[in-house]
Amino acid sequence: MICGNPIDVTDPRWEIFLVVKKVQDPLGDCIIDVLGFATVYRFFRYPDSTRLRIGQILVLPPYQGQGHGCHLLESVYSVAVSENIYDVTAEEPSDYLQYLRACIDTKRLLCFQPIKPAINSVVSCLKEGNLSKRICRSSSCPPASVMEIARQKLKINKKQFLRCWEVLIYLNLNQENSKCTENFRAWVSDRVKSDIVDKDAVDSRKHLVEVPNDYDHDMTFVVCWSQNGGESDGIDGNLGGNQSTQDEQLNELVKKRLEDIVKITNKGKMTIGMRCFNSKKMALLCLFFFFVAAVQVRAQTTGFINIDCGIPENSSYFDGLTYVSDAQFTDTGVNRNVSPAYSSILARRFLTVRSFPDGARNCYTFKSIIPGLKYLIRATFLYGNYDLKSSPSVQFDLYLGVNLWKTINVTDPSNNFLTEAITEATADLISVCLLNTGRGTPFISGMDLRPMAASLYPLVNASRSLVLLDRFNMAPTVYSFLGGVDRYALDSYDRIWFQYKSKPSWDEISTNSTVETVGNDHFEVPSQVMQTAVVPANSTTTLELSFSPDPGDLDEFYAVVYFAELQQNASRQFFVYLNGALLNDAKPFTPDFLVSDAIYNINPSAGYGELNISLVATDSSTLPPLLNAVEVFSTMRNTNVASDGGDGKPVSSSSLFMVSARMCCVLVVISLTHDYFARLPRRLHQSMP
């Protein structure tokens, strides 16, 4: 067994489900790669049926995030249905496995017609706002007959069905209607309270009675049930403290339940790959398996500053990274909470904002900066109707030092607008300022700072600033890696590599071998990005991409195009054109095998209004061109005069401005696939930590 809990191979009740991929080696021989597996045990269920129990599911690291775990779980269900198994369960499921099962089972139940009337009944109750305790509790659980037919037809057991029930109700509500949303929250709160009361009532009726025996007196007991004893009064069986404390704990439980519901709901709306999932035992194994990688992540995050704007002064919390209050970075503004209508669907970092109702210019200051180094700075903005004004648009300017960074225009209260900048520090501090332009009160949700090596991005210096239009990993079907922990686990500078869905006229190629960086590499693209590439299909000799800038960006473009040969003994040679101009000193380019390389223009390509990249194979090349990754920039104009002379603080004089945007004008459709996203705005990312 590869990397998993041992099983008794002599026991015929164990079954192993495998996900495999057929590939051809350079000699044309067929090779089968194992991508992942699931172990399942067949339990006898009295009197004459069988229950499938999932022991573990593991997808090997290079293939995670591509939906293979979903396929494994769906295959288990397929077998259960075809063989009329009683139901499917999981042994000690981890939180993520439960989440995965809930996503898949919710999707299956959505298409299951027999449960529609029961769903519609609850939805109608919530829409009408008729939330008396009698009605809420009578509709709190679905009819037993509905759960039984779901077990018979879909092999979903009762406990799992109840996990999906609230998600099914939420999916059928008008989530834009604040009344429906509030009624749903009250309904969930009543269900949570009922769960606690019912559990207390059951527990209070249990009595352990020791039974003498000839074996082990400490190991034998009988659970007896009392018919009338131990009535539970209130909800204090599992909630400690006084009434105020109990209410607070109940609210936390309700909040967590709502977050889980919305997370599963949003996941169900997106066609995306799922990541590795396992039982608690398997989680321990994976913890050992990834120990070295975890140590590397801790080393790579040294110097990271992660700010949650609007949380109390001197407070902090851990959510993959340690987030701190912004009070130590600014002395103006007020802390505000987003509206309760949005707080239940947002990640923790977006529950608060700092608002700046006073003053034309308000600044954050990062101190202890090392002049000469480059820093990545990320700012996020989620309105969440924090001021209860339901503003259709909030617009203000963001400055990096004296330079206009971006005009922030927030038009959706539930979307997070994210922008990044890389700057070369020229002083021992960096200022980020919000400028009130009279079109709404400036606010901010979060900010991050990442130190970078001074040798990176030679296009950036003390006199040049750039705007990033997009950064693409060209073949995400093979490797899915974006956002969350994977950002800084795989990219030590926490750059976000947007995933790219190939055009039908392209093929994807990949390798499991590490792609190396050479000593003079000025970009240090992660190997996981360079291990995939796209090539033209059907013997086509040209590969083309087009990009358009954001409104307000200058039409002076820079492009960094990344290549690494992934096929041994390949004969591949091509020209690289940028808006018709040859790069690489007008010479054909031949990528090295498993070595990362980059080509970029020294002078901006100006006056075109858009950027076109063309890769054209030479006549002598036996293979078409390939493309592993690409970054596209436009110029940001620097100024020598601060936007507000009253600032009085030293500032950075140059920056590489990067807007993490989803390109609508690119010739291909970009597919963003990370669990942390709920919805994606048209241009900028939402809910990025």
Q: Are the beta carbons of 617 and 625 closer than 8 angstroms?
A: yes
| Averaged pLDDT, 4-25 | 75
Measured CA to CA, the distance from residue 628 to residue 607 in angstroms comes to 27
Instruction: Report the candidate in 228, 137, 243 with the shortest Cα–Cα distance to residue 190.
Output: 137
| Averaged pLDDT, 252-278 | 62
The tens digit of pLDDT for each residue in 311-320 reads 999 999 988 7
Residues 6+ apart with CB under 8 A from 331: none
Query: Which pLDDT belongs to residue 425?
Result: 84
What is the DSSP secondary-structure string of 123-137?
A: HHHHHHT---HHHHH
Look at residue 438 and give its three-state secondary structure: strand
Query: Which pLDDT belongs to residue 489?
Result: 60
Measured CA to CA, the distance from residue 115 to residue 267 in angstroms comes to 21
Whether residue 595 has pLDDT greater than 60:
yes
Instruction: Report the candidate in 528, 74, 39, 114 with the shortest Cα–Cα distance to residue 274.
Output: 74
Whether residue 670 has pLDDT greater than 80:
no
Annotation marks residue 313 as catalytic: no
Query: Which pLDDT belongs to residue 689?
Result: 41
The tens digit of pLDDT for each residue in 171-187 reads 887 665 667 777 888 88
Query: Which pLDDT belongs to residue 212?
Result: 54
Positive or negative torsion for Cα 196, 197, 201, 204? positive
Whether residue 203 has pLDDT greater than 70:
no
Q: Are the beta carbons of 598 and 555 closer than 8 angstroms?
A: no
Q: Is 552 left (phi over 0), alpha (psi -120 to 50) or beta?
A: left
Positive or negative torsion for Cα 340, 346, 350, 355? negative
Instruction: Give the percent of the chain with pLDDT over 70.
Output: 72
| Averaged pLDDT, 64-89 | 87
- pLDDT bin (cut points 50, 70, 90) of residue 583 is very high
Using the 8-state DSSP alphabet, how is residue 552 labeled? Answer: T
The tens digit of pLDDT for each residue in 104-147 reads 888 888 888 888 888 888 888 887 765 554 444 455 578 888 89
The tens digit of pLDDT for each residue in 26-46 reads 566 667 778 888 899 998 887
Whether residue 642 has pLDDT greater than 50:
no
Which of 15, 74, 91, 259 is catalytic? The answer is 91
**What number of other Cβ atoms are within 10 A of residue 168's Cβ?**
25
Query: Which pLDDT belongs to residue 668?
Result: 24
Query: Which pLDDT belongs to residue 447?
Result: 96
Query: Which pLDDT belongs to residue 235?
Result: 44
Using the 8-state DSSP alphabet, how is residue 586 labeled? Answer: G
- Domains of the chain (ranges plus CATH)? 14-199+235-269 (3.40.630.30), 302-452 (2.60.120.430), 469-637 (2.60.120)
| Averaged pLDDT, 319-334 | 92
